[in-house]
Each structure stands twice: as C-alpha cells, then as structure tokens.
Amino acid sequence: MPDNKVYIFDTTLRDGEQVPGCKLNTKEKIEIALALEELGVDIIEAGFPISSPGDFQSVDEIAKVIKNAVVCGLSRAVQKDIEVAAEALRNAKRSRIHTGIGTSDFHIKGKFNSNREEILQRAIQCVKWARNLTADVEFYAEDAGRTDNEYLARVIEAVIAAGATTVNIPDTTGYCLPYQYGEKIAYLMNKVPNIDKAVISCHCHNDLGLATANSIAGVMNGARQVECTINGLGERAGNTSLEEVVMIIKQHHALGYYTNIKAQQLNPLSRLVSDTMRMPVQPNKAIVGSNAFSHSSGIHQDGFLKDALTYEIINPDEVGADGSKIILTARSGRSALAHRFHKLGFQYNRNDIDVLYEQFLKVADRKKEVADEDLKALAGEYQVTAIVA
C-alpha cells in the first residue's frame, strides 16, 4: 500500500473553467492559482495550452508565479499539443504534462474509429513524447470508468513502462457506482505489475452525483491523488468537489489519510472562485453553501442550542465559514425564538415566550424568514399590551 498522503490535484482552472460562463482572463486565473497554492494544493492544472493563445498565456504566467505547487498543463495524445504544453510550462519551478487518450470502446470506436491495439500504441507514444520534455508525466485514460478492466490494465502497465509517473483513471462520464470504481482501482493495484512506480489518480465527474463518493472509494482502494475543483465546478454536472474530499478525509481521520490543505481557507476561496467565475454556489452545497451551517427546524434548533454537536459534524470555523445560523421560520420552535430574543437584548420568561410565539407564528406563516426587525416589532407590541393590561 502506498503512503497515506492524498495529493490534491486542483483542476478548477482547466476542467472547472470549461463550464459555460466561467471563462477567466489571465489576471483572474493568476489570482485563483495563487490562492490555490496558499490553500495547500499539491498540483494546479492551469489550463490546456494548445486550446487558445489566451490559455497558453495563462499557463505561462501561472508557471512563473507559483513557487511550491506543481503546475500542470493538459494535452491530447498529439505531439504538437505536448510540445506547446511544455513550452507554456518552461518557467515553472515544478511542471507536469498531463497527456492521454480515450480507452473505452465508446471512445476507441466512436471518437477515433480505431482499435484497442492502435490506441495502446498511441498511449505509449504520447507518454514518450512528454517524457522527453519533462520528468513528471501524468497519463489519463479518458473514460476509464467505462473501459474494460483487462484492457485498461494493459494500457496502464505500458504507459508506466514508457515513463508515466501518475496514472489518471477518469470516470469521465460519471457512470460508475462507488463499489465499481473502487474495484477498478483495486484491480489495477493487483494486476498491473509496475503499479508501484506510479501514483494512481481519481478524476471523477458528477453526472449521477457520485463524484466525491467515487473518489473516496478510489482512495480506499489505493489511489493517492484526487483531481477536484473548488465548488465542484466542471464539465456538465461538474467534478469532484475539493472541499468535500478534504473534509471527508479530515472528519474520518480514523481511515488514516491526510492532505496538506488548510481547511480554514475553504470558504473564502469558494467565494473568490464563485465571484470571479460569476457562478453562484447552491445554498445546500456541502461545506461551502450558505445553508451548510444553518438550522431552521424547531427540533434541530433545540438540539443545536443545547449542544452544537447534536446537529453539526464540522465546526464552521474549521472551514472558514461565517458561523452557525439559526434561521427563524414557521418550522422554528420556542427555544430558537427565546434564544434570538435574548441575543437582541430581550429577556422573557416561559409565559412571555408562549404568548410571543403565537404572534411569531403568524408573521412566520406570512414570510419565508422572520428577521430581527420583525422580532423587535413583536417585542414592542408585546410591551404596549403589557402596559395597557
């Protein structure tokens, strides 16, 4: 079994930036790359240099400013792509070329109109081209999730022999179930004789909402690199979300894995990416959604106010979130109401709260959320009634 460090390969600036509307200019990409380095990611996939002059420039500029992380550029299994990626990365302190080809029969026949033998040779060739230009080469077997395991093992053995130092097993279409993806990684661990010469990487898409679960299944079966994005951005339904993987590994420390990520920066970086890419984060998104630490039902609020651990498995400070919130709605109970009144400076006994709660429910049924201003108004009316009585 390899060491228990899980390398975090961030592809927000490549797979994430492919999302319609999320295109970034070079300045914005540099800002995010620097923040990713500060967060502690091990590898930053900065772009796909041959895809456009703008992307070449971004990779080139990022390569110049990043000090510790490996800067990676994507290419197809095409010599020109690989040369252009190497050119864009020439000023990096540590660089990686990420090259590869589709290995499923869907890709071999449908995309390349080719056969398994020819694709195997192209895979070997692209790794050799890249190895002539840099020592750090990652090979991706696109659509590995739907690739026959026996053939995949042959390809992986051959590309490692050709010099690949990381082998990426993408579930490109997000098709696998966690046990299937885990078994695929276990199969490669057991059947590829030279697998100890390379790191296995998971690159999972979220078409069935399983990207994070699949990546964790991959790690539990021997993968030691996870490719992910901030806020889970990426093609179609997105990629594995960086913040989810990091916090699963942290919360389940009994599993023995660790990453170098400084979790307190997760929420600030999520906001930076969301603002820069003009892509809002869904409120119920794990770790970084605005509701991730909000409690709104009476049962939950009562438990949370007695002991936060009853309904929170993560302390919001640990991930740089604004803090836990008690949202007052028509589903809230008396303890949450009393708590909020107390915070606003109103001390009420149980009888007061019983009366105020009836008034509160009338407001709550009219509004989605009861604001502090509404409570102050209720308190004012209650005082007047008390004086008159």
CA distance 140 to 119: 13
Residue 205 CB, nearest approach to ligand KIV (Å): 6
Choose among 190, 254, 263, 247: nearest CA to 215: 247
Q: Which is closer to ligand KIV, CB of 175 or CB of 257? A: 175
Q: Closest separation between CB of residue 183 and Zn ion, Å?
A: 21
**Could you say whether residue 182 binds ligand KIV (CB under 6 A)?**
no
Residue of 170, 218, 232, 320 interacting with ligand KIV (CB under 6 A): 170
Q: How many residues bind ligand KIV (CB under 6 A)?
A: 8
Please tell me whether residue 214 binds ligand KIV under the rule CB under 6 A.
no
How many other CB atoms sit within 10 Å of the CB of residue 98? 27
Closest distance of CB 15 from ligand KIV, Å: 5
Paired tokens of 133: 């230009």
Structure tokens at 267: 């929420």
**DSSP bridge pairs for 8:** 226
Which candidate, 330, 333, 334, places its Cα nearest to that of 353? 334
347: which 2 tokens? 């001390």
Distance CA 344, CA 11 (A): 45
How far is residue 153's CA from residue 185's CA, in Å, rounded to a whole number? 10
Confirm or reject binding of residue 9 to ligand KIV (CB under 6 A).
no
- Ranges within 14-53 binding Zn ion (CB under 5 A): 15
Q: Select the binding partner of residue 96 from Zn ion, ligand KIV, none (C-beta < 5 to 8 A, by kind).
A: none
145 makes contact with ligand KIV (CB under 6 A): no
Strands 95-102 and 7-10: unpaired
Please identify which residue in the block is written with the tokens 């004012």: 380
The nearest distance, CB 209 to ligand KIV, in angstroms, is 16
Q: Which listed option, ligand KIV, Zn ion, none, makes contact with residue 94 (CB within 5 to 8 Å by class)?
A: none
Binding of residue 360 to ligand KIV (CB under 6 A): no
CB nearer to ligand KIV: pick between 103 and 301: 103
Nearer to Zn ion, 111 or 362 (CB): 111
Main-chain phi, psi angles of 228, to 5 degrees: -155, 175
Q: Which residues bind ligand KIV (CB under 6 A)?
A: 15, 140, 142, 168, 170, 172, 203, 205
Q: Which residues bind Zn ion (CB under 5 A)?
A: 15
